[in-house]
Chains A and B, each alone.
Chain A
Amino acid sequence: MAVIGDLLVQFGQMLVVLGLAPLLTGFVRKVKARLLRRRGPPLLQPYRDLLRLLRKEAVVAENASWLFRAAPYLIFAATWVAAALVPTFATGLLFSWSADLIVIVALLGSARFFLALAGMDVGTSFGGIGASREVMIASLAEPAMIMVVFTLALIAGSTQLSTVASHMIHAEVRLRVSLGLALIALIMVALAENARIPVDNPATHLELTMVHEAMVLEYSGRHLAVIEAASMLKLLLYVSLIAAMFLPWGIAEAGAGPAAYAGGVLAYAVKLGIGGFLLALFEISIAKMRVFRVPGFLGAALMLALLAMLLMFMTRSFG
C-alpha cells in the first residue's frame, strides 16, 4: 500500500507541475500588464494558446531532418522529468533518490542541446544566431549553476534535493553570507536561462536581440505547443528550485499524512505566487541589456557563486 501511496504522490507532483506551469506564465504576464496599467490577457490564456496550437496543423520546412521533428518531444520530456524531480510540495518522493541537483542541471543541459540543434537544423539565419547566442549564454550560466549547487552541497552534505530541503528546514536559522550570495547567483542564472528580461525578452518576436524565440521561429502547430509548454515548465522549475532550496518552509516531509500534503500544496502555491509577482516586478523595472553585456551579467553570477563557495570554505575551516 505504501508504494501505491508514494506512486500516487509522485504522479500527483508530475501532474501538478504540468498543470501549474501555464498558470504561472499567465500569472506573470497578468501581473506585468496590471503593473503597467494595462488590462492584460486573462490568467488562463496560456492554456488556450497551447490547446489552439495543438489543434493546428504542423508546418515543417522542406529541408528539415528527423531531428527537427523529434527535438520538441525530447526537450519537453527532459524538462518535464527535471521539473517533476524538484520537490514542490513534498520531499522524500518515490523518485527522490534520483532527484539530484546535478541530474537536473544535466537534464536541462540536454534539453538546451537539442533546442540549439533544432534551431540550426533548418538552416535559417535566425535559427543559427539564436542557437549560437543560447549556447554562449549557457556556457556561462551552467558553471555558475554548478557552483551554486556545490555551495549548497557543502552546506547540506549532499546534492540530493530532498536532503538539501530537509536540511534547510531543520538547520538553525542563521545569517549565512554564502547562502545569500548563492541565492542571488541562482536568481541571475534563472533569469538568463528562462530568457527573462535583462537577458532576453519573452514577449517579443522578430527583434534583432532575441535568443529563445529566434531558435523556435520555424516551429508551428503541435511542435510549437510542446516547446512552449517546455519553456513554461522550465520557469516553474526554477521558481520551485529556488523555493525548495532557499525557502523550504511549509513543504511536507516524507511519510507525512494527507493534511501535511494539503498544507504543502498551499505553501507551494503561495511561494509560486510570490515568485511570479517578484519576477514581474523585476521585469517591468529594468531594461533589457545588449547581447554583448550578457557575458558580464552572467560573469557576475559566476563570480558571486564562486565567492559564495569560498566564503563557505572559510566558515568551514575557521569555524
Chain B
Amino acid sequence: MTSFVYDIAHLLAGGMVLVSFMLLYQDRMHGLLNVFALHAVVLALSVAWEALIQHAPHLFITAAIALVVKAIIIPLALHRIVRRLKIHREVEVVVGIGPTMLAGMGLVALSTALMLRVTPAADALSRQDLAFALSVVLLGLLMMVTRRNAVSQVVGLMSIENGLILAAAGAKGMPLVVEISVAFSVLVAFIVIGIFLFRIRERFDTVDVQALDRFRGERQ
C-alpha cells in the first residue's frame, strides 16, 4: 500500500516536470496557454494527493485555489489578452528548442544532484518532491530567459510559482495563511502584468521585450 501511495505521488510530481518540458517545447501561443492550464491541473492533483496522504485538509484549499485560479481564470484571461493584443501565433524564442531542452535536462539533473546532497535526513517522498519542485522552478526560470514574448514570460513566472507550491505541499506543516497570501500575490502580479502588457503594447506596438532594450538604447 505504501508503495502505491508513493507511486502516485511520484507520478504526479514527475508529471509536473514533464508538463514543464511541454511548456518549453510548445511553439504556439494558444497551445502554450493550454499546456499551462494542464500544468496547474497536475499541480492541483498533486497537492490534493499530498493532502490525502498527509491528512492535512487545508491543503485541499490550496489545491482548489490552484485549480480555479491557475487552471481556469488565468489561462482564460491570458487567452483573452492574446486575442485582444493580436499577438501572432508563434512563440518567439531566443535560443532554439533543442538546446533549450538539453539545458532543461541539465537543470533537472542539477536539482536532483543538489537535493541528494542537501536533504539526507528527510524522508524519501518529500526529498523527491523537493527535487521535482526545484526542477519545475528552474525550468520556469529557463523559460523566462529563453522567451522574447512578454506573455510567454508571464507563463514562465506562473510555472515557477506552481513549482513553489509543489515544494510547499511536499514539506509538511505549511500554514494556510502563507498559501492564500501567495495565491493572492500571484493574482495581483497577474493583474499588474496584464495592465503592463497593454501599456507596453500601446507604446511600442509589440510585446517583444527586445523593443524595450532598443528603447533604452542598449541594443541597436
Interface residues of A (CB under 8 A from B): 172, 174-178, 181, 295-296, 299-300, 303-304, 306-307, 310-311, 313-315, 317-319
Q: Are the CB atoms of A307 and B21 closer together than 8 Å?
A: yes
Q: Determine how close the nearest CB of chain B comes to the CB of A317; give it in whole angstroms.
A: 6
Known: A177-B15, A314-B131. A307 touches B105 (CB 8 A): yes
A299–B17 Cα distance when bound, in Å, is: 17
Q: Are the CB atoms of A314 and B112 closer together than 8 Å?
A: yes
Instruction: Chain B residues near A172: list those with CB within 8 A.
Output: 3
A304–B105 Cα distance when bound, in Å, is: 10
Q: Are the CB atoms of A314 and B128 closer together than 8 Å?
A: yes
- Residues of B164-212 contacting chain A, CB below 8 A: none
A-contact 0/1 string along B85-102, CB 8 Å cutoff: 000000000000110010
- In order of increasing CB-CB distance, the 8 nearest A-B pairs are A177-B14, A175-B7, A318-B128, A318-B124, A177-B11, A303-B101, A318-B127, A174-B7
B53 proximal to A (CB < 8 A): no
Instruction: Chain B residues near A310: list those with CB within 8 A.
Output: 105, 108-109, 112
A-contact 0/1 string along B111-147, CB 8 Å cutoff: 0100010000000100110010000000000000000
A313–B131 Cα distance when bound, in Å, is: 12
Q: Determine how close the nearest CB of chain A comes to the CB of B98; give it in whole angstroms.
A: 6
A178–B11 Cα distance when bound, in Å, is: 9
Partner of A175, one of B8, B25, B105, B112: B8
Residue of A172, A296, A303, A319 with most chain B CB atoms under a 10 A cut-off:
A303
Which residue of the partner chain B has the closest CB to A180?
B11
Q: Is the interface of A mostly helix, strand, loop or mixed?
A: helix
Q: Are the CB atoms of A296 and B18 closer together than 8 Å?
A: no
Q: Determine how close the nearest CB of chain B comes to the CB of A244; give it in whole angstroms.
A: 23
B30 proximal to A (CB < 8 A): no
A315–B11 Cα distance when bound, in Å, is: 11
Instruction: Chain B residues near A315: list those with CB within 8 A.
Output: 10, 128
Q: Determine how close the nearest CB of chain A comes to the CB of B141; give it in whole angstroms.
A: 18
Q: Are the CB atoms of B14 and A311 closer together than 8 Å?
A: yes
Instruction: Chain B residues near A178: list those with CB within 8 A.
Output: 14
Partner of A317, one of B25, B101, B116: B116
A98–B7 Cα distance when bound, in Å, is: 34
Known: A175-B7, A177-B11, A307-B17. A296 touches B97 (CB 8 A): yes
Instruction: Chain A residues near B11: list those with CB within 8 A.
Output: 175, 177
Further 16 A-B residue pairs, CB within 8 A, beyond A299-B97, A303-B21, A311-B10: A174-B3, A175-B7, A175-B11, A177-B10, A177-B11, A177-B18, A295-B98, A296-B98, A299-B101, A300-B25, A303-B25, A304-B18, A310-B112, A317-B112, A318-B127, A318-B131
Residue of B15, B101, B116 with most chain A CB atoms under a 10 A cut-off:
B101
Q: Determine how close the nearest CB of chain A comes to the CB of B130; give it in whole angstroms.
A: 10
A310–B124 Cα distance when bound, in Å, is: 16
Instruction: Chain A residues near B112: list those with CB within 8 A.
Output: 310, 313-314, 317
- Residues of B12-58 contacting chain A, CB below 8 A: 14-15, 17-18, 21, 25
Q: Are the CB atoms of B18 and A181 closer together than 8 Å?
A: yes
Q: Determine how close the nearest CB of chain A comes to the CB of B71; give it in whole angstroms.
A: 21
Instruction: Chain B residues near A319: list those with CB within 8 A.
Output: 124
Which residue of the partner chain A has the closest CB to B7?
A175
A296–B98 Cα distance when bound, in Å, is: 8
Q: Are the CB atoms of A318 and B116 closer together than 8 Å?
A: yes
A313–B108 Cα distance when bound, in Å, is: 11
Q: Determine how close the nearest CB of chain B comes to the CB of A74; give it in whole angstroms.
A: 33
